[in-house]
Amino acid sequence: MEYDFGMVGLGVMGRNLLLNIADHGFSVVGLDLDPVKAAALEAEAESGKPIKGTTSIQEFVDSLQKPRALMLLVPAGKAVDAAITNLLPYLEPGDIVIDGGNSYFPDTNRRILELQEKNLHFFGMGISGGEKGARYGPSMMPGGDRQAYERLRPVFEAVAAKVDGEPCVSYLGNGSAGNYVKMVHNGIEYGIMQLIAETYDLLKRGVGNSHEEIQHMFEEWNGSEVQSFLVEITGQILKKTDDVTGQPLVNLISDRARQKGTGKWTSQNAMDLQVPLPTVDIAVTMRDMSAYKEERVLAAQSLAIKPTSSEANAEWHELENKLRNAFYFAMLVTYAQGLVQLRVASDTYQYELELQEVAKIWRGGCIIRAACLEDIRKAFAVNPALPNLLLDPIIGQELLNRQEDMRTIVKLAIERGIPVPAMMTALAYFDAYRSETLPTNLIQAQRDYFGAHTYERIDQPGIFHTDWD
């Protein structure tokens, strides 16, 4: 039998996505050098569905319908190159190779060129939604070889998450566009997760709310304008108790946060492009800070402070409303920063991204899906050349309506000595972006003073240097 689609790597994501494809009427074959994983694929398949698992590269490739279509879902980096190298002797011109992992976009550009030389189609496709999304409907971000994508578009549109009947997958652009969009998606994810963690910490340590009150608040928030997957799962996480102790499980989890690098890549590339991305930057930094546990334990004792006293706490309902407004404000600003990066990257790398399409496929299936993404999609539908979401009249007004509550919450955190750097940087970004003048004129003067770096004037054209002594 010849199969429609092949998968290399039968871990949780690869296996679930392949089962999803089979559920939609396509015959599939999976390859994994681990015989346990290959057998697990067939064991999970519903009876009667054409699904095969194998450990043989030869058998895998020979069983695919020509031109062959196969996806790699293996760890980013050397594992992807190794998988391609192992497959190459068996592939033929016209075959299609898809990298579905979180590959760093320069690696994708290199692989496109390498496989083009062998007359093989290659494209990178970011996939978001975790194991459940892969099984029942992810958001997928393909870019690169458009001809190859069109060959597989019916498969991906069938298995993707749906919002208002529209599949959360779309061809995004040239070269490494798909992997780049997924990278920025993950950067935004870092930022929103940090905002949620700060909200939780401010309520728990700063205000003294009970665990049950905080859990109930996140559960209620998911029915408001801040509705999102990350808010939803936070309510579920806080509800979970430990089977042994009966305590909230989250209280027993170490606060040393780990990361796989996509947030760091987002920040690093934003700096290369000279795009301000402060909320994502600080989210990466705070994960780094969490690793210094032993030092933080010592500093908690030697640098202990008495929180600044303030007026009596507002009623809980009033405080919760202000906090929700502040969180929504910061979440919108985080999306805005990431979308500016995508716009600048598209111009720089000739991706030809349409930000309306990006927002559309992020509305369902992916980790950063949220109700506000429909408003974001509409903003770019009305003005595809919109330089920054803050300039959209509707979203700009949403921010103005909430900025006072944002300032109140940041002041409360400062008074109580609770770190909320992501909230602070979101507010600072807003204030900097709406500042007609910034104090960087002084920085230019300093640079010229110590390094003769020159400066421009506002009253006449040209480049100037001053002997400041």
Q: What pLDDT is recorded for position 239?
A: 97
Residue 161, both tokens: 């998450």
Average pLDDT, the chain: 94
Residue 271 predicted with pLDDT over 60: yes
Instruction: Classify 128 as helix, strand or coil.
Output: strand
The helix (run of H) or strand (run of E) holding residue 330 is: helix 316-349
- Listed by start position, the domains of the chain span 5-171, 182-434
Q: What pLDDT is recorded for position 301?
A: 95
pLDDT in tens, 335-354: 999 999 999 999 999 999 99
Mean pLDDT of 360-375: 97
Q: What pLDDT is recorded for position 329?
A: 98
Per cent of the chain over pLDDT 70 is: 98
Binding-site residues from annotation for substrate: 102, 128-130, 185-186, 190, 260, 287, 447, 453
Q: According to CATH, what is the number of the domain 5-171? A: 3.40.50.720
Give the integer Cα–Cα distance in Å for 203 and 211: 9
Question: Which of 163, 162, 170 shows the shortest CA–CA distance to 140?
Answer: 170
- The reported pTM is 0.95
Confidence of residue 232 (pLDDT cuts 50, 70, 90): very high
Residue 312 predicted with pLDDT over 80: no
Q: What pLDDT is recorded for position 459?
A: 96
Cβ contact 351:334 at 8 Å: no
Active site residues: 182, 189
pLDDT in tens, 118-131: 999 999 999 999 98
Confidence of residue 63 (pLDDT cuts 50, 70, 90): very high
C-alpha distance from residue 338 to each of 45, 66, 195, 346 (Å): 39, 39, 15, 12
Q: What pLDDT is recorded for position 43?
A: 83
Q: What pLDDT is recorded for position 176?
A: 96
pLDDT in tens, 403-446: 999 999 999 999 999 999 999 999 999 999 999 999 999 999 99
Amino acid at residue number 264: K
Cβ contact 123:142 at 8 Å: yes
Residue 3, both tokens: 């199969």
Give domain 182-434's CATH architecture.
Orthogonal Bundle (1.10)
Question: Which of 14, 258, 32 shows the shortest CA–CA distance to 131?
Answer: 14
Residue 310 predicted with pLDDT over 70: no
Amino acid at residue number 142: P
Give the integer Cα–Cα distance in Å for 265 and 184: 9
Residue 318 predicted with pLDDT over 50: yes
Question: Which of 34, 43, 27 shows the shortest CA–CA distance to 11?
Answer: 34
Give the integer Cα–Cα distance in Å for 119 and 116: 5
Return the beta strands (E) in 145-296 as ranges: 162-163, 166-167
Binding-site residues from annotation: 102, 128-130, 185-186, 190, 260, 287, 447, 453
Confidence of residue 49 (pLDDT cuts 50, 70, 90): confident
pLDDT in tens, 146-187: 888 999 999 999 999 999 999 999 999 999 999 999 999 999
